[in-house]
Structure 1
Amino acid sequence: AQGSGAILNASSVVGLYGNFGQTNYAATKFGVIGFTKTWARELGPKGVRINAVAPGFIATPMVAAMPEKVLADLSAKVHLRRIGKPEEIANVYAFLASDEASYVNGEVMEVSGGISL
């Protein structure tokens, strides 16, 4: 009704590319991407922007619980050679919510340190 706004959704690089043994997780994150793009089409004409963030591996308690060898292997696959920090993801959400992103709609922003390159 106000003619503006921003909705931000949480996906994952797994939702973009899949991951062995994570069919259920990948399916939910693919779904988030689908409804992000659909809502962007539906709500964009009303002035509401819809975007999603697709983080890679981020230093959260879930990732910290992984074996040290797995974390080392993951870090080696990231072109920045490290696991991301939660504040790096928060910064992307802050950007997408801001007027600085006023012409960004229907995008899925991968924030992964380049793991998918």
Structure 2
Amino acid sequence: ILMDQATADRVRDSLGTDEARLRRLARVLPYGFETPHTVSELLPPHNDWPELTDEHIARFEEGVDHFLAGAWEDAYACLHAMPASDRAQDFLTMMITQHNRVAPADWDGIVRLPGK
């Protein structure tokens, strides 16, 4: 389940980690929108998905920080520390590898989605 920052903040404030976990995925500009949004993913609690640890989530978010900042080689290293069962890394690593692990010169940290 994907959600915007306001929803993620409400979930974080109202649910404990024994009920659900969250992680940021990217800053995106959906097709037809004028304002970018930070998108987060709702994850099951550790007991329901033990192979994705809280340390993995922290490392993933470190990778997102590097990705947003344009440090794509560092982002790639963080994202590849995820377990194989975690598919969220695929979207960002695909973008990174398509650009030979170097952010475009005009990179502003926003993933522009080209269509609906």
Larger relative contact order, structure 1 or 2 (CA cutoff 8 Å, min sep 6): 1
TM-score by shorter chain over 0.5: no
Structure 1 or 2: more helix by fraction: 1
Q: TM-score, normalised by structure 2?
A: 0.28
Q: TM-score, normalised by structure 1?
A: 0.28
